[in-house]
Structure 1
């Protein structure tokens, strides 16, 4: 949703035509972000080919990023609307806690041997729990007019607090073995983890929704200029409600996926999920100023810090350097976005 630039030439009839494919690729944020990811993979492969460039390493990498990818799909929609959601990590924990407690209650206190009926009830509970927090965020932001940063900062603490109250400050640890075996560690199609397949399907649906539907066009329009979108007939309030509802819904699914993988709610493991999903989305080229972003960029943005961490672990680089490297990449991504925006606005 940006104005035509000088790169676009006009025909004799005065109609706009696209520049050559190569020029468009080089000018795209996603192109450069993809090059960074490819370069990182090449460097770590050259340094430790026997450890890094293995099927096991990449399979582990995919599993470890699956939950974060689902969170980042929702975050992409939010940030494109020029919003932010700091609560997704806490909502994920809350959804997992509600799912775990629901399955325990339906199994008489121990869900270890529960069947698929109980598991399905847990999934529904997780999704509804996430959607409720998404609806609360959307209402306070879109209807009450409170800034997204303040609202989601508040709900971040509230969702985490309620999660801890549900189980007296401890994790739920009795998760159906069938759920862990099938979704957490199960595979299909010759060894592709089921957790990864779920994340891929959700990402593809998110990409379809963002790039080919009216919902996606409205998302870009609201992020580019909310007032102009309102004057053109778009229901900005209703649309923002839907966007935050979608983000909460996806956080609920992510919470259930995490529960399946860890066989526990693992509250402490998700302390920085909100910041990680925001970082991944911004690294992927989604502008914090709104109106710009792509699902492909988000996928790449999720894998850049994951590859850095995995490569540094394999090459025995201290954790401190990992944090510095991820922070440097994030700052570079924001700088590139601002530079690109200034260039576009000066035309």
Structure 2
């Protein structure tokens, strides 16, 4: 060992600082063509210098750590980096929010803390079991970091189940999610929605087989497993309209799927533009469009246009919203006037 210090940085990927100190240097940013999104835990084999590290998700960054847990994301990976050959290898993939990693004292196996599944995985990099993995321990709470204890053995930091804002603190969950919503909702409305979703999930999970009719219903069902873990009795049949293969949630040695681009608001001049929602498009005569095409037009279409055209469309949508509000006010004023006239007529007819 030459005394180099390796760092798994959530945003700067894998870094190294030389034995003499100085600025950190980035050594690797991706593996098998998939960029790192959330590097987390790290350990080094003192014998051969191999650096073992985890990427908690290929889809979400650290700032969206809660989304990794709530979405049931399984794009986490365990990798090794060889300082001599400068090569990075993917050892495990399809992991559920892997965080800490610890190498055994004699270097024959690795332990990986898998947060979402509340378990510790064991991977054998050498010995007759080389390349295999297994569940080492199932924990009563969410595992976090893991390291060798000075008194021999392994120590893993964990949180009790329900320790996330969405499970215990509706105020925290409301603050977390409100920036991602297109409409304003109160804590009471959000709490009621979550309660109804939980009840719907419980009813569906109690069935022997759940057959969603729309793609988003299956997505909601998968997300709702935060209330029931993996022990629900219902099996899910993919809707015919969605032919995408779904992960079985188990760690494998195959490459993870490339992360999907998330929908986002377009920005012009540093300010959020008017958000165009699917419901508005449907109201204006686009009911016949398939969900996938409507999503392309609404959520991603603006980003395909030049900035000038986007600004023009945003201005048109803003004017339309203003016109709708003015019409709403006029209709209410007319209705109030009519109610007053009818009321006066009713009062006069009593005499």
Do the two structures share a fold, i.e. TM-score over 0.5? no
More strand by share: 2
* TM-score interval (norm. to shorter): under 0.3
Larger Rg: 2
